[in-house]
């Protein structure tokens, strides 16, 4: 898409997306009891697509005892995903934060692919998220390996090594995380508009979906959606939930998760 089209999207709203008034309120968890928690040491946070208000992905948040043990986190999360599927819920990809050492080392990241296979999972079921900008000092070879084997990857838009990976590896399933404090309060202010225009142009150029976290109000959600961002996470979507409440959230939203093989990755 040309820059002029992006500018028109920014100033007039993205017409392909429903206007806020035409969209039903975001769903709250239904009271349906599931009682099928397979991962009591994990919490979850749904992330919603701005385009269709479907669950685009679920951020996995481990309890303190699992911090740093990415294989154990991945194993527990995939087991919980299988339980949701058995309960008749279509589950979206799981987002798992990747420690610095694994993001930089292909050798250390390789066991994650083995773990996905051991759990009868598919690489497309997982999106590995890199840390915020400034954490890395080496090329992200671990992220590149995971991407080449079909996993989704998520990179900070301010991280030069992450953006270098996008340019050199050209991952098929990647998204760009925009720090919430990097965006202006008024998204339609001319100065802020130029910043957003450059971010959306960067994402469009490299075929990246865009994610904004810590969105606390419905008004902010609607504004981000009309401006052209793809995925939103925060209190405007859902709080941090346990496995049972996440299942209830999926059930209440109709479990209309985006299939793993048809995630919203914009065309390059």
* 200-212 confidence digits (pLDDT tens): 999 999 999 999 9
Q: Residue 37's pLDDT is what?
A: 62
- What's the Cα-to-Cα distance from 125 to each of 7, 81, 237, rounded to whole Å? 34, 9, 21
CATH H superfamily, domain 3-259:
EAL domain (3.20.20.450)
Give me the phi and psi of 6, to 5 degrees please. -65, -40
Residues 143 and 98 sit within 8 Å (Cβ to Cβ):
yes
What integer is the mean pLDDT of 235-246?
Answer: 94
What integer is the mean pLDDT of 99-104?
Answer: 92
Ramachandran assignment for 88, one of left (phi > 0), alpha (psi -120 to 50 degrees), beta (any other): left
Query: Helix %, strand %, coil % for the chain, to 5?
Result: 45, 15, 40
| Token representation of residue 196 | 């957003």
For the chain, how long is the longest CA-to-CA vector?
Answer: 51
The dihedral through the CA atoms of 134, 266, 58, 231 has a sign that is positive
Between 257 and 125, where is the model more confident? Answer: 125
- What's the Cα-to-Cα distance from 73 to each of 38, 60, 147, 154, 237, rounded to whole Å? 12, 8, 19, 17, 23
Helices within 16-132 (DSSP H only): 70-86, 100-104, 106-118
Query: Using alpha carbons only, what angle is made at residue 234 by residues 213 and 9, rounded to the nearest 5 degrees?
Result: 55
H/E element, 246: helix 243-252
**Cα end-to-end span (Å), the chain:** 9
Kindly calculate the radius of gyration of the chain based on its CA atoms and give it in whole angstroms.
Answer: 18
d(CA 182, CA 111): 34
Give me the phi and psi of 178, to 5 degrees please. -105, 115
pTM above the 0.85 mark? Answer: no
Query: 3-class secondary structure for 46-71?
Result: EEEECCCCCEEEEEEEECHHHCCCHH
For residue 186, count other CB atoms closer than 10 A to its CB.
11
| Token representation of residue 84 | 């949701």
- The mean of the pLDDT values for the chain is 82
Per this entry, what is the length of the chain? 268
Instruction: Provide the pLDDT confidence category of residue 162 given band limits of 50, 70 and 90.
Output: confident
d(CA 225, CA 220): 9
* 8-37 confidence digits (pLDDT tens): 554 454 444 544 444 444 544 444 455 466
Strand partners, 155: 176
């Amino acid at each position: 898409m040309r820059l002029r089209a992006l500018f028109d999207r920014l100033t007039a709203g993205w017409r392909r997306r429903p206007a806020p008034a035409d969209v039903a309120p975001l769903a709250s968890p239904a009271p349906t009891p599931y009682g099928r928690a397979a991962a009591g040491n994990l919490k979850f946070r749904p992330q919603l697509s701005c385009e269709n208000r479907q669950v685009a992905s679920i951020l996995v948040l481990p309890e303190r005892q699992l911090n740093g043990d990415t294989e154990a986190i991945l194993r527990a999360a995939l087991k919980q995903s299988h339980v949701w599927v058995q309960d008749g819920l279509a589950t979206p990809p799981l987002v798992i934060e990747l420690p610095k050492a694994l993001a930089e080392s292909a050798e250390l990241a390789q066991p994650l692919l083995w773990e996905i296979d051991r759990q009868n999972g598919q690489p497309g079921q997982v999106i590995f998220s890199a840390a915020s900008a400034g954490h890395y000092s080496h090329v992200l070879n671990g992220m590149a390996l995971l991407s080449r084997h079909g996993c989704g990857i998520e990179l900070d838009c301010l991280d030069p090594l992450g953006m270098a990976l996008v340019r050199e590896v050209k991952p098929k399933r990647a998204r760009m995380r925009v720090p919430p404090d990097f965006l202006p309060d008024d998204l339609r202010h001319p100065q802020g508009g130029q910043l957003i225009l450059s971010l959306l142009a960067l994402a469009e150029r490299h075929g990246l979906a865009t994610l904004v976290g810590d969105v606390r109000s419905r008004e902010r959600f609607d504004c981000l959606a009309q401006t052209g961002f793809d995925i939103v996470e925060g209190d405007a979507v859902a709080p941090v939930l346990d496995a049972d409440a996440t299942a209830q959230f999926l059930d209440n939203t109709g479990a209309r998760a985006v299939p793993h093989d048809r995630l919203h990755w914009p065309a390059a």
